[in-house]
Structure 1
Amino acid sequence: MKQPLNIFWFRRDLRLDDNVGFYKALSSDYPVLPIFIFDTEILDKLPEDDARVTFIHGTLQTMSTTLQKEYQSNLAMFHSKPIEIFKQLIETYDIKSVFTNHDYEPYAKKRDSELSDFLSKHEIEFKTFKDQVIFEKDEVVKKDGKPYMVYTPYMRVWKAQFKSQELDIYDTESLFSNLIKNSELPNLSLTDLGFKTSIQKIAQYVVTPSLIQAYEETRNFPAKDSTSRLGPHLRFGTVSIRKMVQKAIAEDNEIFWQELIWREFFMQILWHFPHTAKDSFKSKYDRIEWRNNEDEFYKWCEGKTGYPLVDAGMRELNETGFMHNRVRMLVGSFLCKHLLIDWRWGEAYFAEKLHDYDMSSNIGNWQWVAGSGVDATPYFRIFNPTSQIQKFDKNHDYIKKWVPDYQELTYPQPMVDHKIARERCLKMYKDALN
């Protein structure tokens, strides 16, 4: 006779504590089998030494070890398409319900819809919960029900709604006795997945009171390296967004708090406007005739543009999988405005390289620098890559770290003159948009 149980499916929520869907599963009437699926639809597109896969795998091993040592349970790992894994699990167990947390990206929505239909045919409930955000989908909208397309009014309503309600923290650990007792569940090595350990490491996040308090003062200066490095941890759910908001409020830092709200703003934009994953939010921007010079694109990718701050950012990205946010805006603007290369090329390159890649934020920010997104600022905002040094790296400390050759004869000349590039960009955009 098959064992009756519920399944909790870990996805973008790789933590045992304060996990809404996990808490709901553990509160149910049946023992819980926790699982993770290395989805071949996603992994097959990644390089074999992808740092994010190494990070996910290591996080799961730590979670599994904790469950074994302290609760005589385990975490089952699988490698295939999710629907194929659930076909196998149905053969093994009497599954009553599958619990998981919401995922909002286009592929995830399609996957979950198909899986829900499949499970319902087997009389299995598919229960999903809000976990990776404070507000989702259409929870923060205008009075007429339409989504906000400008950040500031969205942020104000977000804060007002947040202050009017209680913030729940979910004590999952108190319910771990409801996990199935089985330490022999399938585990997988990186080799089993077709991957190898990445040389790059995803940095641990730093959210100390001192960092939060100094955030507004230091966040724009890349040499200070005073950002929290929260991005990958929010992306993969190794930290709770509720606990991070609590920390921001405890230190009474509006700017740090607002950075967390930006993340949710872009997530709801992608949810309401899924076409922005591939097309410009403002459709007229798809009329721009991009130059798309491949040689110039590769020079940008390699950090060989002849503009030291741009090159520093790209070299930092290539070597570490991270780039300071202030520099991201500059390198993005340079690609779209100085080189007139389609923002989608840059978005795809960042998606491949960034440890904290998150589709909604990546698309939102790339469309921001291209002028094609929800931002209200006109397209003629073009960053000057030289004056940006004076503003944000006056002593060249960041540049010296990542472009030590910037004063050598071997360092390339600027690949395009700023004044000429600016005029060319304005003409190209004007011709396309008018």
Structure 2
Amino acid sequence: MTASALVWMRRDLRCEDHAALYHALRRYQRVYCAFVFDSDILNCLPGRKDRRVEFIHDSVVDLHHALQQLAEQSGAPGGGLIVRHGPAQGCIVQLAQDLGVQEVFTNRDYEPQAMTRDQRVAQALRERGVAFSDYKDHVLLDRDEVLTQQGNPYSVFTPYKRAWLQKLDAFQLKPYPVGRYARNLAPPPKAERLPGLEELGFFRTNLHELPLPSGMRGAQKLLQAFVPRMAAYHEARDYPGRKGVSYLSVHLRFGTVSIRQLAALAARRAAEGCEGAKTWLSELAWRDFYFMILWHHPHVVNQSFKADYERVQWEEAPELWQAWSEARTGYPLVDAAMRQLHQTGYMHNRLRMVVASFLTKDLGIDWRRGERHFAEHLNDYDLAANNGGWQWAASTGCDSQPWFRIFNPITQSQKFDPEGQFIRRYVPELACVPDQNIHFPAAMKPVELTACGLRLGVDYPLPIIDHARARERTLMRFTLIA
């Protein structure tokens, strides 16, 4: 009997430079590929219109065709993706039995719930005589690969990055040559009809109206557009009104692009002296850092990394929370950022820090509430990075912003959106406000407001809080436990 295996694809929706697929193809003569629209996850989503589900669906269709093309090019009898909809554990175990495979391959996940799921799948497979193997693919260096000299995980980023760069070599950046063994791709056991988005219980969003192409091809399109801008990344990345970042975060989240491909490109350009590439490589190190933190300290999902900061007395403030979540704070940069999130599912990284600081330091609201709000709306939501970023802003996490350093939403706006270009895009009611006033219209004189036709409290809200006073309350809140 021909030995066969099943590759379970999850957050790795590509067939190039794919660790699990490569190892399965090398070892087995028939390799099936499958993806499960996990109902245990989908049923927990807050609505039936979710850009992420649509992005995944589009990327699954793209992957199905890419696998077929890869098989055809290698002379294999067929290829493609087996797609199921249901609880992942039951679907994979049943599919492994139906296909008669000897082993299930997958790429590693680091989120606690996913790890528990994988342990249950592995146990259920073993009970049926099927092996289970997982591989590092979503990060460059994971778990225990970067430790201190004492063998402990790092909790401060700078020394971690130094060790990370020393460990990162040509081997870690080398792509897996999937195509070399693609002749072992097996076609689905019967003609696979991919389920439509509506069959999954979801509806179309505005995803296709956004500059966010999906799938493997979409990732490469964005990457090629970023390459000419990479040299200026270190300077342009903080300005939301400029096209300074790569916009690849959602593709990294769902694995439609290989982290090794990006890091190899950044490392090569950095070695040539490109400052932008060095900064971009550092951002990839932050990504690995937060995955490492989540794996070693899973309590951060619901608790502060620093145990003492669990004693912080956060405010309930339902009206302030509602104003923040509805982009009605009276601070234009904060409101523009929140509108960008709600309208597109994306928020510029600098603005993520600004709005997180505003929620936790100006409004005094628990970082966990903001983290959950982002989890509901971000296309690129990733537990490790989102949790790390929120705890950084709230000063409760590892290597976090010191609690006595508090972002001023007005000066942040003046510095990173000096001409109000970003603000005007998402807060058009302020379009006629002069550049020098657009960062805080509440400071304008009545004659100035009349001149530009703006009625504060009617056309645009008055500030919900005074930043200077809020800063003092935050200093007092943290001083009590410091």
Say yes or no: TM over 0.5: yes
Whether contact under 8 Å (1:343, 1:370) holds in the other structure is yes
2:409 is aligned to 385
Deviation digits for residues 315-365 of structure 1, max 9, x if unmatched?
111101111111110100000011111000000000011111110000000
SS at match of 2:207: coil
Distance 2:115 2:406 in 1: 36
Counterpart secondary structure, 2:280: helix
Following superposition, the deviation at residue 163 of structure 1 comes to 3.5
**Alpha-carbon deviation of 1:141?**
0.6
| Stretch moving more, 77-86 or 87-96 | 87-96
Relative to structure 2, which stretch is displaced further, 422-431 or 13-22?
A: 422-431
Map 1:171-182; keep pairs closer than 5 Å.
Answer: 171-182=177-188
Identify the residue that residue 201 of structure 2 maps to in structure 1.
194
SS in 2 for 1:100: strand
Stretch moving more, 61-70 or 104-113? 61-70
- C-alpha distance in 2 between matches for 1:311 and 1:164: 44
* Amino-acid identity (%): 40
Q: Which residue of 2 is the match for residue 49 of structure 1?
A: 49
- Whether 1:222 and 2:236 are equivalent positions in the alignment is no
| Residues 166, 382 of structure 1: alpha-carbon distance in 2 compared, 3 angstrom cutoff | closer
2-structure distance, mates of 1:219, 1:425 = 29
Contact 2:25 2:182 in 1 (8 A): yes
Q: Give the match for residue 126 of structure 2.
A: 120
Partners of 2:281 and 2:97 in 1: CA distance: 46
Shift of 1:161: 1.0
Q: Is the 8 A contact 2:304 2:396 kept in 1?
A: yes
- How far the C-alpha of 1:65 sits from its partner, in A, is 2.1
Distance 1:86 1:167 in 2: 30
Shift of 1:414: 0.7
More moved, 403-412 vs 305-314: 403-412
2-structure distance, mates of 1:151, 1:167: 21
Compared CA separation, residues 17 and 90, structure 1 to 2 (3 A): closer
The amino acid across from 1:199 in the alignment is: N
Q: What is the TM-score with the length of structure 2 in the denominator?
A: 0.87
Is 1:356 the equivalent of 2:380? Answer: yes
What's the secondary structure of 1:386's corresponding residue? helix
Amino acid at match of 1:125: A
On the 8 A contact 1:104/1:267 being kept in 2, the answer is: yes
- Secondary structure at 2:173's aligned position in 1? coil
Q: Tell me how far 1:172 sits from its aligned partner.
A: 0.8
> How far does residue 91 in structure 1 lie from its aligned partner after superposition?
4.2
Give distance in 1, aligned partners of 2:120 and 2:34.
19
Q: Deviations over 1:29-79 (max 9, x none)?
A: 330110001111111112211111111111111121233355322200011
- The count of residues paired between Structure 1 and Structure 2 equals 432
**In the alignment, which residue of structure 1 is the partner of 2:257?**
239
Residue 409 of structure 2 aligns to a residue whose secondary structure is coil
How far, CA to CA, are the matches of 1:161 and 1:228 in structure 2?
25
d(CA) in 1 for partners of 2:359 and 2:85? 37
What are the superposed Cα offsets for residues 214-239 of structure 1, whole Å, 9 maximum, x if unpaired?
Answer: 10111111100321011111110000
RMSD (CA atoms) = 1.6
1:412 aligns with 2:461: yes
Matched, 1:262 2:280: no
Q: Partners of 2:289 and 2:96 in 1: how far apart?
A: 38
> 1:43 and 1:125 mapped to 2: Cα distance?
27
Q: Supply the distance in 2 between the matched residues of 1:70 and 1:108 (Cα, whole angstroms).
A: 29
The one-letter amino acid paired with 1:334 is F
In the superposition, relative to structure 1, how do residues 128 and 306 fare at CA in structure 2: closer, same or farther (>3 Å)?
same
Matches within 5 A, 1:148-163: 148-163=154-169
Query: Matched residues in 2 for 1:292 and 1:3: separation?
Result: 62
* Aligned residues of 1:3 and 1:94 also touching (Cα < 8 A): no
Whether contact under 8 Å (1:4, 1:94) holds in the other structure is no
1:372 maps to 396
**Aligned ranges 1:11-410 → 2 under 5 Å:** 11-46=10-45, 47-69=47-69, 71=71, 72-163=78-169, 165=171, 167-182=173-188, 184-201=191-208, 203-204=212-213, 206-207=222-223, 208-252=226-270, 253-375=277-399, 377-406=401-430, 407=433, 408-409=454-455, 410=459
Q: CA deviation at 1:3?
A: 7.6
Alignment-derived partner of residue 475 in structure 2: 426
Tell whether the 8 Å contact from 2:393 to 2:400 is kept in structure 1 after alignment.
no
3-state SS of paired residue (1:36):
strand
Conserved 8 A contact 1:267-1:360: yes
Structure-2 change in CA distance of 1:272 and 1:135 (3 Å): same
Which whole-Å CA distance do the structure 1 matches of 2:267 and 2:2 have between them? 45
SS in structure 1 at match of 2:253 = helix
- Rate the CA distance shift 1:411–1:271 in 2: closer, same or farther, 3 A: same
The answer on whether the counterparts of 2:125 and 2:131 sit within 8 Å (CA) in structure 1 is yes
More displaced, 199-208 or 89-98?
199-208
User: 3-state DSSP class of the match of 2:117?
Assistant: helix
- Report the alpha carbon displacement of residue 266 of structure 1 after superposing the two structures with TM: 0.5
Give TM-score, length-normalised by structure 1.
0.96
| 3-state secondary structure, aligned to 1:35 | strand
Deviations 1:228-276 (CA, angstroms, capped at 9, x unpaired): 0111111100000000011112322210110111000011001000000
Shift of 1:190: 1.0
CA distance in 1, matches of 2:329, 2:412: 15
Specify whether residues 17 and 191 from structure 1 end up closer, same or farther in structure 2 by C-alpha distance, changes over 3 A only: same
CA contact (8 A) 2:70 2:182 kept: no
